[in-house]
A = this chain, B = another copy of it.
Amino acid sequence: MGTGMDERLRDIGEDALIEKLTTGLVQGPGVVVGPGDDCAVMRTADPEMFSLLKTDCLVEGVHFASDSDPERVGWKALCRSLSDIAAMAGAPEAALVTVAASADHRVATLEGWYRGLNRAAERYGVSIVGGETSSLPESIDAAFLSIMLTGKVARDRCCRRDGAGLGDRILVTGKLGGSFASGRHLDFEPRLREAAWLAEHFPPTAMMDLSDGLAADLPRLAKASGGLGWRIDFDVLPCHEHADVSGAVGDGEDYELLLTVSAEKVDELRAAWAEEFPALPLTVIGEITETIETPLEGGWDHFSRA
Contact = CB atoms under 8 A, between A and B. Distances in A.
A45 B40 contact: no
Given A9-B105, A45-B44, A57-B98, A142 B148 contact: no
B26 A127 contact: yes
A59 B135 contact: yes
Nearest to A121: B26
Task: List the number of copies, as a whole number.
Answer: 2
Interface SS of chain A: mixed
A290 to B, nearest CB: 29
A4 interface: yes
A159 to B, nearest CB: 16
Contacts of A87: none
A263 interface: no
Contacts of A306: none
B4 A103 contact: no
A6 to B, nearest CB: 7
Interface of A: 4-12, 14, 17-18, 20-22, 24-28, 30-31, 33-37, 39-40, 42, 44-46, 49, 53-57, 59-63, 93-94, 96-108, 110-111, 114, 118, 121-122, 125-137, 139-140, 142, 144, 146, 148, 150, 302-304
